[in-house]
Amino acid sequence: MTALLTVEGITKYFNRRRVLDDVRFSVRRGEVLGLIGPNGSGKTTLFECLAGLMPANAGTLKADDKVLTSSQRKATLFYLPDGITPWAEQSVAWALSFFRKLYRRSAADASALVEPLRLEELMKARLGTLSKGERKRVLVALGLLTPHPLLMLDEPFDGLDLRQTRDAMSLLKAHATSGRTLMLSIHQLIDAGRVCDRLVLLSGGQVAGEGSLDELRTRAKLTEAGVEEIFLALT
Amino acid sequence: MRSHSFPELLGKEWRELLASRSYWLLLLMIGPLVGHAFITALNLYAEASGLGGGPAALPQGLTPLDGILAPTFGAYDLAATLFLPFVAIRLVSAEKQSGALKLLFQLPGSLATKVTAKGLVLMGGWLVSCLPGLLAVVLWKSYGGHLHGPETLNLVFGHFLRSMLSIGIAVGAAALTESAASAAIVTLAITVGSWALDFVAAGRGGLLQQLANYTPTAALRFFEQGLLRMNTTIVMLVVIVSMFALAAVWLNTGRPLRRQLLATLAVAAVLGMVMFGASGMRASWDLSENRRNSFPPADENALRQIQAPLHVTVILSPEDPRLTDFEQNVLKKLRRNLAHLNVDYTAGSQTGLFEGSDDHYGEIWYEMRGQKIMERSTIEPVVLEEIYKLAGVNAPAAAADNDFPGYPLAAGPKWAALIFYGLWPLATIFAWWFIRREGN
């Protein structure tokens, strides 16, 4: 698979505290890339820097060896933050319709998301009245309605129960199979191992490893290990 | 931006406005506020017109602009100060605090476009809130009241600019601050600051008074007098646009702080240049029916021929009613007609009550081409005569009396209380309930 984007040397300070330190990795077309790391490892900060929501102190985002301008970046990737409650007074149906019309997606595109994300019973509810898991499912649907080549989802399974997590994983996998590139930030390492084609391990703001599960096993010299053991060995 | 996304953004902002309780509170309150102002004004106007058997005031003194329109629309000044900023702040701060801004930032279109959509929707919201004002005008006409189109439209335009100024300041404050509460404090501080500037600068002249001419209250006063001033209009428009530009700069969290500060400085520089440039603009239009802002046409023609600079030194304190008379009856009109007029205010005290006789208190000096004349009168014909003398211009023949007839009307506020205190609040509550139900 060819690289869709290359992240080079992203560094971010909050006052004098370095929260991202020379972060480098690549995102390949059509893959599901997992960004994994413990709380406070810099996953959300990295996403916000990549999406242009927060200025990085150093580093670039490249496509085909060319640094992306802010408008190219905006056309290439869409980031769905975790823990937001947008437009709390509006209904789920309106939010889906807003994104659908904004991005000129067909009604069928939106309908295709309703069943796997179990949104039927939520359509009339206000976004502000949804539980954490319900809101997460709606936000994932909004993200999947965007047409950007790369969709970055921050903790997409947070708040979902086991069945919902499995359904959401299948849906994301199906979108990746149809050519969309996904980058997921996940702190549940077992979930990451199930859904991601490749992983970027982030620890203390630094990339501790990048590759498929097998590549990371080889690097960690743990032939039968799961994601948790690999992460502990490499960080 | 892709053109198709703008209507969607407008639709989103409109829904957000209608979902805002502060907007519905504004709508709920504006009816009774306008109604109270209208009914009070109408009763006073009727009394002055001889209702109840008392002697009527001079008809020439009874103008609908002063007696009905300015006080009725004064409710909108109150709303623009106390209610409208909170509606505007909510539209920005709610998205910042809920995280929706992070999505909005990534949607099609620049942040400037998105801020423009917010501005347009807030403008639309304000226009809807103007319905009670329109109802008052319709009622006034139905009672047989007189309206002069240009002065009425000018007044509404003044309130439009004043409200957009409130909205612009509130949107700018909401973009700059972290929370809605901080934005409200900043907006309130700017309002109180403008009142203080108004008070401190009165009768002082110089840069301070020029600046004070652009505070919302002072700027609105010109429109309430039937005067449309080019510089006031331009400065208000540029301030409004600048505030929205600042909002677009500060909502862009992806920009480094240094770039945001530089952009802010650039906006401030443009604003400063416009204000400086506007201070030299004298173009204005007296749209009042009784030409209260103008000398008789013959005098205006004579004054416009005077090219030599006139220097006026006024030794009257800011709170002296003679200074108010002089400003309203003479200086305001001279500023519109003389190419070069410079006014100095040299009284040392605030009230003038304890000025000594050796301080020349009460004197007004006129100086042109090295010649000086002192005159204490603040009456228009006396002052003009002195200026003609100094300029060596023949005084034009005295004009016939102002042919403004005045419009007395001894009518009671029939149906007004029911409409503004009863039907309007009920209609607002019903509309809120209906829209909320439909939104589900």
Q: How far apart are CA A189 and CA A159, in angstroms?
A: 15
Residue of B13, B103, B251 to mutate for A, most A C-beta atoms under 10 A: B103
Q: Which residue of B has its CA nearest to A145?
A: B107
**What global pTM score does this model have?**
0.90
Contact B99 A90 (CB under 8 A): no
Averaged confidence pLDDT in chain B: 91
pLDDT tens figures, A82-133: 999 999 999 999 999 999 999 999 999 999 999 999 999 999 999 999 999 9
Partners of A74 on chain B (C-beta within 8 Å) are 106
A 10 A CB-CB count for B318 gives 18
Q: Which residue of B has its CA nearest to A122?
A: B440
Closest CA–CA distance from residue A106 to any residue of chain B (Å):
15
Higher pLDDT, B394 or A110: A110
Partners of B249 on chain A (C-beta within 8 Å) are none
pLDDT at B3 over 80: no
pLDDT tens figures, B14-29: 999 999 999 999 999 9
> What is the reported pLDDT for B1?
42
Mean pLDDT of B5-15: 95
Non-local CB neighbours of A112 within 8 Å, separated by 6+ positions: none
Mean pLDDT of A11-27: 95
Query: Which residues on adjacent β-strands are paired with residue A33?
Result: A183, A198
Q: Chains A, B: CB contacts under 8 A, how many?
A: 72
Partners of B11 on chain A (C-beta within 8 Å) are 98
Q: Burial level of A57, CB count in 10 A (0-12/13-18/19+)?
A: middle
Second-level CATH architecture of B297-391: 3-Layer(aba) Sandwich (3.40)
Non-local CB neighbours of B373 within 8 Å, separated by 6+ positions: B365, B366, B367, B386, B389, B390
- Residue A99 near residue A142 (C-beta atoms within 8 A): yes
Which band of pLDDT confidence, cut at 50, 70 and 90, is reported for residue A65?
confident
Contact B16 A90 (CB under 8 A): yes
Partners of B94 on chain A (C-beta within 8 Å) are 88
Contact A102 B108 (CB under 8 A): yes
Contact B98 A78 (CB under 8 A): no
Q: Any idea where the domains of chain B sit in the sequence? A: 5-285+412-439, 297-391
Contact B254 A70 (CB under 8 A): yes
Q: Which residue of B has its CA nearest to A129?
A: B440
Residues in chain A: 235
Residue of B106, B252, B437 to mutate for A, most A C-beta atoms under 10 A: B106
Which band of pLDDT confidence, cut at 50, 70 and 90, is reported for residue B269?
very high
Share of chain A above pLDDT 90, in %: 75
Closest CA–CA distance from residue B95 to any residue of chain A (Å):
7
pLDDT at B122 over 80: yes
Contact A51 B106 (CB under 8 A): yes
- Residue B367 near residue B313 (C-beta atoms within 8 A): yes
Q: Shortest CA distance to B402 belongs to which of B150, B61, B55?
A: B61
Residue B100: CA atoms inside 13 Å, Cβ hemisphere, count?
Answer: 22
Structure tokens at A214: 């097998």
ipTM of the complex: 0.93
Of the candidates A54, A85, A103, the beta carbon closest to that of B253 is on A54
Contact B439 A90 (CB under 8 A): yes
Q: Residue type for A117, please? A: L
Partners of A101 on chain B (C-beta within 8 Å) are 8
Chain B residues touching chain A at CB-CB below 8 Å? 4-5, 8-9, 11-12, 15-16, 19-20, 94-95, 98-100, 102-103, 105-108, 253-256, 439-440
Contact B254 A90 (CB under 8 A): no
Contact B255 A90 (CB under 8 A): no
Partners of A78 on chain B (C-beta within 8 Å) are 106
> What is the reported pLDDT for B351?
66
How far CA B437 is from CA of A85, A91, B346, B430, B431, in Å, comes to: 21, 11, 64, 10, 10
Mean pLDDT of B161-171: 97
A155 secondary structure, DSSP code: S
Contact A86 B98 (CB under 8 A): yes
Which band of pLDDT confidence, cut at 50, 70 and 90, is reported for residue B405?
confident
Q: Which residue of B has its CA nearest to A58?
A: B256
Contact A90 B19 (CB under 8 A): yes
Structure tokens at B438: 């439909």
pLDDT tens figures, B299-355: 999 999 898 999 999 998 888 889 889 988 899 899 889 988 999 888 777 666 666
> What is the reported pLDDT for B440?
54
Mean pLDDT of A30-51: 93
Share of chain B above pLDDT 70, in %: 93
- Residue B363 near residue B376 (C-beta atoms within 8 A): yes
pLDDT at A76 over 50: yes
Closest CA–CA distance from residue B78 to any residue of chain A (Å):
28
Residue of A74, A92, A146 to mutate for B, most B C-beta atoms under 10 A: A74
Contact B100 A86 (CB under 8 A): yes
Closest CA–CA distance from residue A168 to any residue of chain B (Å):
21
Higher pLDDT, B131 or A65: B131
- Residue B145 near residue B47 (C-beta atoms within 8 A): no
Closest CA–CA distance from residue B258 to any residue of chain A (Å):
11
Q: Which residue of B has its CA nearest to A87?
A: B100
Of the candidates B4, B20, B254, the beta carbon closest to that of A104 is on B4
Which band of pLDDT confidence, cut at 50, 70 and 90, is reported for residue B271?
very high
Which band of pLDDT confidence, cut at 50, 70 and 90, is reported for residue B42?
very high
Contact B16 A104 (CB under 8 A): no
> What is the reported pLDDT for B282?
82
Crossing angle of helices B216-224 and B230-251, in 10° steps, is: 140
Contact A87 B100 (CB under 8 A): yes
Structure tokens at B250: 């500060």
Q: Which residue of A has its CA nearest to B18?
A: A89
Q: Are strands B341-345 and B310-314 parallel, antiparallel or unpaired?
A: parallel
Q: How far apart are CA A47 and CA A25, in angstroms?
A: 13
pLDDT at B2 over 60: no
Averaged confidence pLDDT in chain A: 92
> What is the reported pLDDT for B374?
92
The topology under which CATH files domain A3-234 is: Rossmann fold (3.40.50)
